[in-house]
Structure 1
Amino acid sequence: MHEQLINPTVEKFKTRFKSEPEHIFLSPGRINIIGEHVDYSDGFVLPAAIDKYICFAVRKLPGTNFCTVIAKDLGEEYTFDITTEIKPVGQMWMNYILGVFSQLQKPENLFCGMEIVFSSTIPMGAGLSSSAALECGFAFILNELFHLQISKKDIAVIGQKSEHSFAGVQCGIMDQFASVFGKENKVIMLDCNSLQHQYFDADLKGYSLLLFDSCVKHSHLTSGYNDRHKEVEHGKKILRKNFPEIEKFRDFTMDMLDRVKEEMGNTSYKRCLYLLKEIQRVEMAAKAISAGNIEYLGTLLTETHAGLSTEFEVSCSELDFLVENALQQEGVLGARIMGGGFGGCSINLIEENKTEEVIRIISEKYLEHFNIRMKVYHVTISDGIKEYTNEYII
């Protein structure tokens, strides 16, 4: 199943280093079934690891101090000395790796040189968290090969800190957590603050999860995200002032929100309204998917899109078009924006026997309307990071 990714990665390793790799690791991307923009608002998210991976081919070089990393898909490589102070570099992809190593570069951790080649089936820029897969995959490799005894939770935190400090992205921890803790046919309901989590069965037999990539990224993504953050914080401040006995945002009620609407202002009110409803939807979605109530899960996805579009206002014409047109097709149970918004993918829950027809219709409509060829990704819920132990064949 994984040979189409593993074999070319191993072949590149053998060509470049004139030897066989000693280990193969697979680190997955992720989807978030539901729970957008709640990771910084005391809410829950419902992510899962997916069957799109970064493959690492690795060999230790005892007695040496140099680590050479090759990004096969980019045609780039970078070598660093494991004994010198680690700082960010010009190649952004390498910063994810260096950010991890810098946190583990301690006297008690006895590293040696390494040779690494990695390649990926996680689409870049589609919102499937290739960066988290790279960070956490490398942390997992160091933990396994050098017996560091780091917990899975700490691997996720190390990945997040790498992104903060070396890539300059102030991300939440959902992406890293899903990549590390993913389980086949399970979704994770994660409290992004406490990192408490529980698994729910996700048997989607008869249904498919399809991602429709709009292939657009609007320039106000960063500014829009930061604006929403400020608007939410303003709303929280008003709520806390009026109801100081409430500790967590998720424990405010709709009635409390309505009572401070005038003081809060319409914009912050809409943002907080969306978040409180979305937090409830995550809990309902976890129960629905576990109970096999896939139709209700679809309804919740569609409600989330409406909220993201009209209350949180992070959609765009391309994504609204993809969702609205998908929902008109027979066999589509639900659809919504996935990710921060202003571009990227929609996630669609579709009856398996209707997927090809839906793809054909939506692709044609999108091309006709925007002159853009959307991309389609079929995803299934899979395991988190692991060492691949089956024999690979070249």
Structure 2
Amino acid sequence: MEKLINYTTEAFRLAFHSEPEHIFLAPGRINIIGEHVDYSDGFVLPAAIDKHICFAVKKADDPETCSFFAKDFDDSFSFNINQKQTPVSQVWVNYLLGVFNAVQESGKKVGGLEIAFSSTIPMGSGLSSSAALECGFAFILNHIFDLNLTKKDLALIGQKSEHTFVGVNCGIMDQFASVFGKEHQVIMLDCNSLEHQYFEANLDDYSLVLFDSCIKHTHLTSGYNDRRKDVDKGKKILWEKFPEIEKFRDFSFSMLDKVRAEIGETPYKRCLYLLKEIKRVEKAAKALSEGDVKYLGELLTETHSGLSTEFEVSCEELDFMVAETLKERDVAGARIMGGGFGGCSINLIKDENVDEVIKNISAKYKTDFDIEMKVYRVKISDGIYEYKRNEIII
């Protein structure tokens, strides 16, 4: 953490020739279980993790200009806060402009800022660096200019940014986890009402370890929006047939079977996966709270099978990685994590055998695909906060 903060602070000095007034940390997230259900009235079980985007921030001398320096891209951007913002060619900028646009449209008044940022969240690995960027900036604006936005407001602003300026029709989970995360706790989030509750992450002598396939993806090009279209087609016909049902999660498997021929095999498979996954989330929350790591692992593995064969968002590399991991000793469960088409697997491994599993899977993956697998050992952490040397302001 200190290394990232010092690195970002130095980047600020080089970019703006002064010292930052504030340091903010916005975490990435893991999702224990509940993939692709956050836009289908489902439950998800995410948690913030100890991988962050660090923002070094100062009010600008020019009150009409916001300036950014993205250290990891070695790229800069500035804009006039009084002008109407529109998407630009620099993709990373659009996440920030979308946030500013949402705040601007709400009528809130802000001033100029100078911001340098850097990250330990690996991009394209399913750990939601985009949500950390969006919500981190929203948190900064709220904190510095006393906008009186709630945590829920910040999450929704981040989501709106991605919808309007980036073109990804994402659910709310990633942004919610980045804002609402708590150390050692997972969030069971109702993606329909945004009601949520916390569960202790009782993993006993097991750890959550991420294996990065190094197959990079973006939701814009990975088929994410195509999957949403498949699901929407299934939902439309389900509600035409059963208009008394209020939420997608309340459709039964028998109802889905009755419209199978009408909606077509592909939308049927997508909806079948989602209904199964929503039920798995509820079971997983109970397993976590009771410390039933074995059953939690079984649920993770079931999810991978569904994502691979029903929702079809896995890939050859991730299927190989998960299959080989499950053959290892003291592995309770494994699955692809995130939107799919690459990124990471999340693995539940007994502490005493983590090093051996990493060594074995790394070697197998290198042999079969000639790719050096990356490994992220993660801990469940707090949501976005302002960092100070002797205190944390949330």
Q: Aligned partners of 2:315 and 2:55: how far apart in 1?
A: 36
Asked if the contact 2:230–2:266 (Cα under 8 Å) also holds between the matched residues in 1, the reply is yes
Q: Aligned partners of 1:332 and 1:385: how far apart in 2?
A: 31
Q: Aligned partners of 1:219 and 1:89: how far apart in 2?
A: 17
Asked if the contact 2:256–2:268 (Cα under 8 Å) also holds between the matched residues in 1, the reply is yes
Partner of 1:128: 127
Q: Aligned partners of 1:63 and 1:30: how far apart in 2?
A: 35
Asked if the contact 1:39–1:45 (Cα under 8 Å) also holds between the matched residues in 2, the reply is yes
Cα drift, residue 268 of structure 1: 2.9
1:175-208 Cα offsets, whole Å, 9 max, x none, are: 1111001111111111222211111111334211
Question: What SS class does the counterpart of residue 388 from structure 1 fall into?
Answer: strand
Question: What SS class does the counterpart of residue 216 from structure 1 fall into?
Answer: coil
Q: Aligned partners of 2:371 and 2:42: how far apart in 1?
A: 35
Cα drift, residue 85 of structure 1: 2.2
User: Judging changes above 3 Å, is the alpha-carbon distance between structure 1 residues 352 and 335 closer, same or farther for their aligned structure 2 residues?
Assistant: same
Cα drift, residue 40 of structure 1: 2.0
Partner of 1:381: 380
Partner of 2:287: 288
Q: Aligned partners of 1:131 and 1:110: how far apart in 2?
A: 24
Cα drift, residue 217 of structure 1: 4.1
Asked if the contact 1:56–1:116 (Cα under 8 Å) also holds between the matched residues in 2, the reply is yes
Greater shift, 383-392 or 356-365, is seen at: 383-392
Cα drift, residue 257 of structure 1: 2.6
Q: Does 1:361 align with 2:355?
A: no
What TM-score comes out, normalization by structure 1 length?
0.94
Identity of aligned residues (%): 68
Q: Does 1:313 align with 2:312?
A: yes
Question: What SS class does the counterpart of residue 148 from structure 2 fall into?
Answer: coil
What TM-score comes out, normalization by structure 2 length?
0.94
Q: Aligned partners of 2:337 and 2:25: how far apart in 1?
A: 24
Q: Does 1:41 align with 2:40?
A: yes
Partner of 1:240: 239
User: Judging changes above 3 Å, is the alpha-carbon distance between structure 1 residues 321 and 356 closer, same or farther for their aligned structure 2 residues?
Assistant: same
Asked if the contact 2:168–2:225 (Cα under 8 Å) also holds between the matched residues in 1, the reply is no
User: Judging changes above 3 Å, is the alpha-carbon distance between structure 1 residues 57 and 286 closer, same or farther for their aligned structure 2 residues?
Assistant: same
Asked if the contact 1:221–1:342 (Cα under 8 Å) also holds between the matched residues in 2, the reply is no
Cα drift, residue 62 of structure 1: 5.2
Asked if the contact 1:62–1:112 (Cα under 8 Å) also holds between the matched residues in 2, the reply is no
Question: What SS class does the counterpart of residue 376 from structure 1 fall into?
Answer: strand
Letter of the 1:180 partner, please give it.
Answer: V
Partner of 2:56: 57
Asked if the contact 1:302–1:334 (Cα under 8 Å) also holds between the matched residues in 2, the reply is yes
Asked if the contact 1:337–1:346 (Cα under 8 Å) also holds between the matched residues in 2, the reply is yes
Alignment of 1:101-120 (within 5 A): 101-105=100-104, 109-120=108-119
User: Judging changes above 3 Å, is the alpha-carbon distance between structure 1 residues 333 and 87 closer, same or farther for their aligned structure 2 residues?
Assistant: same
Q: Aligned partners of 1:41 and 1:316: how far apart in 2?
A: 23
Partner of 2:302: 303
Asked if the contact 1:67–1:81 (Cα under 8 Å) also holds between the matched residues in 2, the reply is yes
Q: Aligned partners of 1:26 and 1:15: how far apart in 2?
A: 20
Asked if the contact 2:131–2:174 (Cα under 8 Å) also holds between the matched residues in 1, the reply is yes
User: Judging changes above 3 Å, is the alpha-carbon distance between structure 1 residues 19 and 344 closer, same or farther for their aligned structure 2 residues?
Assistant: same
Cα drift, residue 136 of structure 1: 0.5
Asked if the contact 2:64–2:81 (Cα under 8 Å) also holds between the matched residues in 1, the reply is yes
Partner of 1:146: 145
Alignment of 1:76-225 (within 5 A): 76-105=75-104, 109-217=108-216, 222=221, 224-225=223-224
Letter of the 1:266 partner, please give it.
Answer: E
Alignment of 1:12-27 (within 5 A): 12-27=11-26
Asked if the contact 1:136–1:179 (Cα under 8 Å) also holds between the matched residues in 2, the reply is yes
Asked if the contact 2:169–2:225 (Cα under 8 Å) also holds between the matched residues in 1, the reply is no
Q: Aligned partners of 1:354 and 1:298: how far apart in 2?
A: 15
Q: Aligned partners of 1:16 and 1:341: how far apart in 2?
A: 36
User: Judging changes above 3 Å, is the alpha-carbon distance between structure 1 residues 71 and 244 closer, same or farther for their aligned structure 2 residues?
Assistant: same
Letter of the 1:86 partner, please give it.
Answer: Q
Q: Does 1:254 align with 2:253?
A: yes
1:135-171 Cα offsets, whole Å, 9 max, x none, are: 1001100100110001110111111111111112211
Question: What SS class does the counterpart of residue 105 from structure 1 fall into?
Answer: helix
